Amino acid sequence: MPLPSLARIPAPSDPILGLTEAFKADPRTTKINLSSGVFVDASGKTPVLPTVIEAERRLAAAAGTKLYRPIDGDDVYRGLVRSLVLGADHEAVTSGRALATQTPGGTGGLRVAADLLRQTGASSTLWMSEPTWPNHPQMFKAAGFAVKTYPYTDATGRRIDEAALLGALGQAEPGDIVLLHGACHNPTGVDPSAELWRKIGDLIEERGLLPIVDLAYQGFGDGLREDAAGLMELVRPGAELLVSTSFSKTFSLYSERVGAMLVIARSAEDAKAVQSHVKVAVRVNYSNPPAHGADIVRTVLSDEALRPQWEAELAAMRARIKDNRAALVAALQARAIPGDWTSIASQRGMFAMMGLTLEQVARLRDVHGVYVVGKGRINVAGFTASNMDPFADALAEVIANG
Ligand code: LMR
């Protein structure tokens, strides 16, 4: 039998990672890549963190083993990540009703969460914000969900439309799944206020919805605990939810594919039962997780000198992104580009929306060699002193003429 004819028709390239491929193939020396969410330092490089280098040195010296790890990952890593996400003293941790699974990145965590829900008979309707990370809809659809959307920002794209968001989620049926961004919303950079998180938590409780929280940027917004505050609003006594977290950005371990999926169940007994289904989801998918990235994270988080050093490295990345935000606002204002850009300075995480048309985005790429995602999502962590002004000039040109 030949391959199906559909397999001979090229699929569209990935809306984010496909742009990096196109960027690499672009021969122009003036090209600027603001597409994929990766942190660069002042020289435009994404260096390995010093704590990671030290952890790798120790791991190499210890010359352990490359034996398979447990299906749900390294026990010590699982415990450390659970405490990092929820706080070591939190009732969900101390009671044992929260359990973490080591996964290949946050994407792997989301897929395990999706498979767990499908294989245990959860609602097949999943609500996600519009806009959201482009991999969310394709992943959850691939896992068998019918995807519905709730509005997120208003027409400016820079403020949450609270009434529209709550109104749409109010239509969800009991048992439906709600996907939320824990912090540093991708692509808008706009996060709910503490008050809105509380209202979302109330609505979830009242309507009996099941949240999945995508927490890929814990520590990139305001701090490790601060960025978990919205999530903690959902971890109410007895409440059940899933969380996916990632160390791609916060440990700069992009290619090591290290993350986790947490199940927070009603009781420790329930959590153990759910964990047995998580192991089935992992086993049929990738069998068991890759070890190296988790070994690094475990080594750093469990060492009393390396852990604060990593927190300082994380704080430095966070501060650099904040500085980039302020510099970007100044650069846009200096060119009198129409629009109110000031809120970009107070947004969180790696991304900001320029609010462009697809034609303007194409013109940025074709005429100026500037690569941005969708309708103008930019990676604010990708700016350096040398690409900020050329970007602002190009944006001014496409907004004036595009
Ligand atoms: C992004 O949104 O750019 C990052 O999360 C990288 C990715 O995997 O898409």
204 and 57 in a single domain? The answer is yes
Count of domains forming the chain: 2
Please say which residue of 248, 274, 301 terminates a domain. 301
Domain assignment present for residue 307? The answer is no
42 and 56 in a single domain? The answer is no
135 and 277 in a single domain? The answer is yes
For residue 8, the tally of other CB atoms under 10 A from its CB is: 8
202 and 216 in a single domain? The answer is yes
In the prediction, which pLDDT does 203 show? 98
Domain assignment present for residue 232? The answer is yes
Structure tokens at 376: 């103008």
Q: Which domain holds residue 343?
A: 5-48+315-400
Domain assignment present for residue 66? The answer is yes
82 and 126 in a single domain? The answer is yes
Q: How confident is the model at residue 73 (pLDDT cuts 50, 70, 90)?
A: very high
CA 254–ligand 1 middle distance (angstroms) = 10
Express each pLDDT in 258-306 by its tens digit: 999 999 999 999 999 999 999 999 999 999 999 999 999 999 999 999 9
CATH (domain of 167): 3.40.640.10
Express each pLDDT in 97-143 by its tens digit: 999 999 999 999 999 999 999 999 999 999 999 999 999 999 999 99
In the prediction, which pLDDT does 149 show? 98
The yes-or-no verdict on residue 55 having pLDDT over 90 is yes
Determine if ligand 1 sits within 6 Å of the CB of residue 182: no
Determine if ligand 1 sits within 6 Å of the CB of residue 391: no
Our answer to whether residue 303 is catalytic in this structure is: no
237 and 361 in a single domain? The answer is no
Is the Cα dihedral 224, 225, 231, 237 positive or negative?
positive
Please say which residue of 268, 301, 334 terminates a domain. 301
Our answer to whether residue 133 is catalytic in this structure is: yes
CATH (domain of 377): 3.90.1150.10
Which amino acid, 145? F
39 and 174 in a single domain? The answer is no
84 and 173 in a single domain? The answer is yes
Domain assignment present for residue 308? The answer is no
Domain assignment present for residue 309? The answer is no
130 and 220 in a single domain? The answer is yes
297 and 319 in a single domain? The answer is no
Express each pLDDT in 138-167 by its tens digit: 999 999 999 999 999 998 888 999 999 999
For residue 167, the tally of other CB atoms under 10 A from its CB is: 12
Average pLDDT on 375-402 reads 95
CA 139–ligand 1 middle distance (angstroms) = 13
Instruction: Give 134-141's long-range contacts (Cβ < 8 A, gap of 24+).
Output: 134/14, 134/15, 134/16, 134/373, 134/374, 135/14, 135/16, 135/107, 136/110, 136/179, 136/214, 139/107, 139/110, 139/111, 139/114, 140/110, 140/114, 140/179
The yes-or-no verdict on residue 402 having pLDDT over 90 is no
Our answer to whether residue 249 is catalytic in this structure is: yes
Q: How far apart are CA 13 and CA 400, in angstroms?
A: 29
The yes-or-no verdict on residue 231 having pLDDT over 80 is yes
The yes-or-no verdict on residue 334 having pLDDT over 90 is yes
38 and 63 in a single domain? The answer is no
Q: Are 296 and 259 in contact (CB under 8 A)?
A: no
In the prediction, which pLDDT does 339 show? 85
Q: Are 248 and 36 in contact (CB under 8 A)?
A: no
Domain assignment present for residue 306? The answer is no
41 and 79 in a single domain? The answer is no
In the prediction, which pLDDT does 157 show? 83
Q: How far apart are CA 374 and CA 34, in angstroms?
A: 12
In the prediction, which pLDDT does 4 show? 94
Atom of ligand 1 nearest to the CA of 187: 2
Q: How confident is the model at residue 234 (pLDDT cuts 50, 70, 90)?
A: very high
Domain assignment present for residue 310? The answer is no
Terminal alpha carbon distance of the chain: 49
Question: Mean pLDDT, the chain, as a whole number?
Answer: 96
Domain assignment present for residue 107? The answer is yes
The yes-or-no verdict on residue 79 having pLDDT over 90 is yes
Please say which residue of 238, 270, 301 terminates a domain. 301
Q: Are 210 and 177 in contact (CB under 8 A)?
A: yes
